[in-house]
Amino acid sequence: MTKVFNLAEAKDQLSSLVDRAASGEEIVIAKHGKPLARLGPMPAAKKKQKPREPSNALGLTYMADDFDAPLP
C-alpha cells in the first residue's frame, strides 16, 4: 500500500516516514502533486561467501618442499 506525502509534510515527518518505510511500507514524496521520490525498505543483505581456498577434489592441499627453491 503506497502513501503519498507532500514535500513539506515529509520534511516535518521524515524520521517517522523512514521508520515506516523500514517496516515495509512504501512512501511517495510529491511536490505540487507530482511524485518525486519513493521511500521503501532496503533489500535483505546477501550472506557473505567465505573466500575460496585452493584444494583438490578431496579438499586436500599439497605443496612440494622445494616449491620456492631457485630454478636450475
CB atoms within 10 A of CB 17: 19
Q: What is the mean pLDDT of the chain?
A: 87
pLDDT score, position 60: 67
How many Å apart are CA 64 and CA 15, to the nearest integer? 61
Assessment of whether the complete model's pTM goes beyond 0.75: no
pLDDT, tens digit, 9 for 90 and up, residues 34-59: 999 999 998 888 888 888 776 666 66
Q: Domain segments of the chain: what residues?
A: 2-39
Query: Residue 33 — φ and ψ, nearest 5°?
Result: 80, -5
**Topology of 2-39 in CATH?**
YefM-like fold (3.40.1620)
Query: For residue 20, what pLDDT is reported?
Result: 94
